[in-house]
A and B are shown apart, each in its own frame.
Chain A
Amino acid sequence: MSHHSDHMLSDGAVLWSQVILSLPFILAALGYAAALYRSKRKNKKWSFYRTLLWFTGVLCAVISVAGPLAQWAHTNFTAHMAGHLLLGMLAPLLMVFAAPLTLLFRALPINYAKKVTKLLRSRFVNVLMDPFTASMLNVGGLWVLYSTSLYALMHEYLVLHIFVHVHVFLAGYLFTASMIYVDPVSHRRRYTYRAVILTAALAFHGILSKYIYSHPPAGVPSRQAEAGGKLMYYGGDAVDLVLIFFLCMHWYHAARPRSVERGRETCQTV
């Protein structure tokens, strides 16, 4: 959009933001590969699907922060929303199911693994991993982004642009991990609690989508806001369908009848 160009980030700044934002994901891919290598050397097996999920997730995240889609997202709101669905919902979903912490524990020497465990059991992580906190950071953060001038400011200041994108991914990951327990969790929340918060978060995500549809963020043409709002609404539905399915499936397994359990030699998992 030429009439915006004087306020927007320069081409150089856009390039920098793409490099800075894709770097952590490239490191994440290398780190997972290194952990996989170490765990294989200890003759421990690791699921091919989890590995595939991690790298697909990383790819989704990189596509959203660097390359043609990221470039287009600077001037087109619908492209921006497509990128945010990839970065904040699909990439976290795939990466949570890749169980990176479980792999990390297998790869680390015992004394380091103990330190990580201590960190995961800390009060700070405990508060962050509460579905309510995670939802506030995730969906609450989106409300701040799209209902204030932050969205417009993000396209003027490089630091804000990077901060918002890092936040969208981390909050998306935290949200997914707080709802579906794939990796070990120190303080598990009850299924009913997670179900209620997940439904509320999904509701506010849908409400925000329709709000964007009818109240475009500053500088966004109404056509793009309408398409972007619809994309957010239905894209969110698709990812949340997967979240709800796995939450219910874990619940279903946890609530299996005792008589069936007695028949088998299953140990009680806490």
Chain B
Amino acid sequence: MSAEPIVRARDIRIWYGTTRGPVKAVDGVSFSVGKAEILGLVGESGSGKSTLGRGLLGLLPDGAAMDGELTFEGVDLLAATPKQRFAYRGTHLGMIFQEPLTRLNPLMRISEHFSETLKTHEPSISKAEIERRSLEVLRVMGIPPSRFSSYPHEFSGGMRQRLMIALALVLRPAFVVADEPTTALDVLVEAQIIKILHDLRNSFDTSLLLITHNLGIIAEACDRVAVMYAGQIVEIGAVDKVFADPQHPYTRELLRSTISLSTTALHSIPGAPPDLVDPPTGCAFHPRCPDALAICAVTRPIAYARDGGAPRSGSTDVACWVASAKSGTVTLTPAEAAPLPREELADADEA
């Protein structure tokens, strides 16, 4: 990984306005993505991971507000005008959506999709150049050039997702957000797409933010992982470190509750994710956390680097009082370190 990150986000907050008050979908998130790096963003539904991905590209709906610092190759994206951000999308920042069929126009041939994309950003491009560049990307995606003038319905589900990836990459963006790119696909096709995404850095030198709820995909495809809970990143670091020795109780419990081929007993996290209009005080995970201390219910944890000191890019950052007390980065008073009495959860609250 090169020293200068492609994307740097600091204290990003994205709130939606509702009649019940603001929904704090993303609430103080900081991370960076290096050149040709794959950062996995994992979390359960409602954790704010998709909102964050869209926010990075400036694709938020009306009624959403975003604040913080977001730079792309040193350029401040949040200070840019909508027109400037529009110019950045596609050419510098790409997006791969979840459902390829709803994103492809059924009345347009594949060739027309490519020529529209390229002409929007490079109005003077020649027809021969469009074909040359499109076919080159399609070839990397394993789509036969003889299908260039076909319509979307003539392709299978996996082929359509390859087309979506090809459409995002034909403009050679340096940074791509892929939001659940394989959720609608079968396991064998999913593995093919994951392999393509993993190899993007070799063929296109692309940095990738891969949003998924599947820890298996993170383990196979990503260099680093950010675990999101209730709009916050609770743990971020190298995938092998985080998975082998998770520091945050949520990461640990999430890994334990994942059903894999080696599962011999069922495990689940008690309770349900919080309402983001009125999230719990202190650490948002404290009502469900088996390790919670008295301080967890009162004060939001301060992120620390696992190998000591303040969090910095590339190290493992954890936002948890228990973990930071164990590592010696903070010293808690006996009152703060007292175990938090757990309220009994009814089954009904659990699911």
**Interaction A to B:** no
